[in-house]
Structure 1
Amino acid sequence: MTLPLAGRWIAVTRPPEQATKLTAAIEAAGGAVISFPLLDIQALPDLSGFDQAITPLAQFDWVIFISSNAVQHGMPLLQLAGIPPSLKFAAIGPTTAASLQAFGITQVLTPQDRFDSESLLALEPLQVMQGQRVLIVRGVGGREVLAETLKQRGAEVVFGECYRRVNPQSSTQVLAQAYDEGKLQGIVVTSSEALRFLLDLAQDAAWLQATPLFVNHARIAEQASTAGLTVYCSGVSGDSAMLNLLQGQLS
């Protein structure tokens, strides 16, 4: 019996520590993985700005985490500051909520279908925010739609930025060579920022134009399509959905 991804080489652009399950699933399906991380998560060397933003923590009604990285870097700092029992927690998706559970936070507002700012903002508890103070824990930069919408609903919003995203790659030679050798049938991209880094490095390279991208969110798919690339979108997060997408298109 031939495995569904036999003979398929797939580049995975997640940080290695976040790609272990997907890598194992691709290999179990017969595929080969090229690890090409386009994001590296680094703690900020100076966290005085974060400490200043969250002090005192009791001023906030809500704290929203936009990623599991935000939880891993931010929660130890919040615990040091002393988390008041009245503080309510929200997360952008189930992976982030699961990371919070590891810190003992079990009551977390989380969207159930799509996992992005818009889906979180659609939830009933965040509709009327007049007089509410919200702390958004995130990396440096990022989308502003969450904060702007909460402000429009009457909330005061403070950013707690506790890490940064950098591109660890200096060139795409590894991917270009793999393509020339017939060993690049797809590239998995699950971050808008990672796609921007890829486009900046590869420019309009012929190998990138000829290699399909596999993404998990419509926003990333639109970004790739605008750049003229072939893109397939699972529409949902999760390794199983990505594996199904890969098998559906590459089998």
Structure 2
Amino acid sequence: MSQCHILITRPQPENQLSCERVKQQGWQAVPLPMLNIEAIKDPAQVALIRSQIFNIDEYKYVIFVSKNAARLACEWLDECWPMLPIGINWIGIGQGTTQSLLAGGVPAIANPGHTSEALLDWLKPVKMRNEKVLIIRGLGGRPELGQQLQDRGAKVSYLSLYERRKPTYYAQTFFMLPDIDLIWVTSGESLTHLTDYANAHKPEWKSLPILTPSARVNQIAQELGWNKATNANGADDNSLIKATEIQTGK
């Protein structure tokens, strides 16, 4: 299926990078981001972010929940910390997030697995009681990770660097797209937005193979009526490419 058309729903700027990887595999990439990532720009909130970054050396663990969190945090760390503070455990959830941190000069490690649930399982042996933990994320992120760390006695704080918004598309956008053979979705929120647009403009998409990043999102996809949802066990390009090869028989 060298002419396999894959709909890439990841937000920018990662969408473009994923499209390039797809093309390298000999497939056809069709970009259609289902999330817009917007860095927080409100002056009062920016001042609070700067203050938290300057005080980041107070934390034993700093956890980044996404590539966007990693990318924006690296920009803030470059501005506020010419030399990174020592004694911090920098943790990226998933290989893609961790690679973004490493590329930005942050000596991060990745938990085995690629989800918040896998991270919690990995941290079980670690004595979290009274340890200060900072979770870097987008506004309104999932609360489960922080809540469960608090249940273990950790002192959890949050740093929100961006907002996630639903992009606006019109019927003509979908009319102009080529026929799609397979879909990549990399978060539950993107999946929800995709479902809204598919229900309105492309109901036939819901019979296509769709790759999801985790068991949790795969379950959501099935509940939303995606008949051929498959867990790729990761939101990174390598995991999605491997799952695509299985789907296409490449």
Runs of 5+ unmatched residues, structure 1 = none
Q: Distance in 2 between matches of 1:236 and 1:44?
A: 27
Match of 1:153 in 2: 152
Q: Secondary structure at the match of 2:142?
A: coil
Give the length in aligned residue pairs: 242
Residue equivalent to 1:38 = 34
- Per-residue CA deviations over 1:71-122 (Å, capped at 9, x if unaligned) read 221233245444432222111122222222233322x33213x211111122
- What does residue 104 of structure 2 align with? 103
Distance 1:100 1:16, change over 3 A: closer
For 1:129, the equivalent position in structure 2 comes to 128
Q: Do 1:50 and 1:160's aligned partners in 2 also have CA atoms closer than 8 Å?
A: yes
Structural mapping, 1:70-85, within 5 Å: 70-82=69-81, 83-85=84-86
Look up the match of 1:241.
239
Structure 2: distance between partners of 1:194 and 1:250: 23
* TM-score (structure 1 length as normaliser): 0.84
- Which whole-Å CA distance do the structure 2 matches of 1:86 and 1:21 have between them? 33
Q: 2:137·2:161 contact (CA, 8 Å) conserved in 1? A: yes
Is the contact made by 1:139 and 1:161 (CA closer than 8 Å) also made in structure 2?
yes
Question: Is 1:200 aligned to residue 196 of structure 2?
Answer: yes
- 1:29 is displaced (CA, Å) by 4.2
Task: Go from structure 1 to structure 2 and tell me whether the alpha carbon gap of 1:73 and 1:7 turns closer, same or farther (over 3 Å shift).
Answer: closer
Q: What is residue 219 of structure 2 aligned with on the other side?
A: 222
What residue in structure 2 maps to residue 88 of structure 1?
A: 89
Which consecutive unaligned segments of at least 5 residues does structure 2 have?
none
Find the residue that maps to 1:19 and give its secondary structure: helix
Distance 2:165 2:9 in 1: 13
Q: Does the 8 A contact of 1:134 with 1:155 survive in 2?
A: yes
Give the counterpart letter for 2:28 in structure 1. Answer: A
Superposition RMSD in Å = 2.5
**CA distance 1:246–1:98, shift in 2 (3 Å):** closer
Q: Counterparts of 1:91 and 1:249 in 2: how far apart (Å)?
A: 28
C-alpha displacement of 1:140 = 0.8
